[in-house]
Amino acid sequence: MTNIGVVMTDSNLDKVEQLIADGLVYHDAGEIEKARDAYLQALDLDPENAKALDLAGLLCMQCGEPEAAEEFYRSAINIEPDNTRFSLHLGILYLEQNDFEKSEEILRKVIEQEPDHSDARLYIALGMRAKGERDAARALLEAAEELNSDNASYKKWLGLLSLETGDLVTALDYTNRSIELDPLDISVYSQLGTILNEMDDHQLAEKCYTSGLKVDSQDMHCRAGLAGTLIKLGKLDEAENELRQAVELGGEQHPLVLSLFALLDAFADKKRDAQSKIESALSTDAASLEILLIAYEVMQNIEEEKKAEDILNTMQNIAPDDARVMSALLG
């Protein structure tokens, strides 16, 4: 990867900057191999270019190459130890690998260097949430929000934590305020739709998902959420149309889309089709609480009580403190 003895000239510096710029364009366009080639060519010319190392790390992380990503990030940090961006990316990498201890250690160093670093606080909180420490995560985000009340991400995640703990009114408030601050974040519309469905306000949830699709009509998760809401409203033909559009967006084998097709079949009294599709969805992703909640509803609708009980037990193991799981237990 490196040519340690390279002497940098003004011409080489210009070429390195151009290669990095080209790599960013390719990266944003999803042309991963072209981006990789551009970053590596830049590093051949300038092996200690921390920006190129960091970008190469991001690309490797995106491509599912965590060991290579870690090497690039650590090289960037060694060259520019005061650049918190590089350490943040390393902390996120460890978080995505479920190495929560390493992640928090790195992210707390970021905060030591830059006490007001909002992203570092957010990802520490997300690590706490992933470990099941929701109260600690919520306390950290609430304290961070007091310091930065205009941070939409803090409010989004506080809304999600409130949803998970069953505090729907607070969840609704935080999520609405997040949308006010960042109306282009499509994921918040899906979150708000989920909250409204939990509150049994399916008509308002439908409007919410529809608003989200005006922001990004290509968002499969939001479209799937709309389909699920339409099923709850009994608008089965409209729901099927939305699911067909989700398939066109590449979701034919996506477990969320499959599970909602199963729910559609369950509501249409097509028990065998419903069971086949939900089992296919679970074979793809049996660890997603979102999929498991739909699967539980499907099995209840088609009167497969034993399988519904098995799914409930799985949900208890994955998210024992989630309010939706506890509600299913009591239901």
> Could you tell me the pTM of the whole model?
0.85
CA distance 199 to 327: 13
Structure tokens at 118: 């909002």
pLDDT at 1: 47
pLDDT tens figures, 291-324: 999 999 999 999 999 999 999 999 999 999 899 9
Task: Kindly tell me the burial class for residue 319, based on how many C-beta atoms sit within 10 Å of its own C-beta (0-12, 13-18, 19 or more).
Answer: middle
93 contact partners, CB below 8 Å, separation of at least 6: 57, 61, 66, 69, 70, 73, 103
Q: Which CATH architecture has domain 1-96?
A: Alpha Horseshoe (1.25)
Sign of CA dihedral 190, 194, 199, 203: positive
The pLDDT confidence band at residue 4, using thresholds 50, 70 and 90, is very low
The residue whose two tokens read 């539980």 is 296
Which is nearest to 228 in space by CA: 263, 178, 268? Answer: 263
Domain ranges of the chain: 1-96
DSSP type of residue 85: H
Is the confidence at residue 8, as pLDDT, over 70?
no
* Residue 117, helix vs strand vs coil: coil
pLDDT tens figures, 152-205: 999 999 999 999 999 999 999 999 999 999 999 999 999 999 999 999 999 999
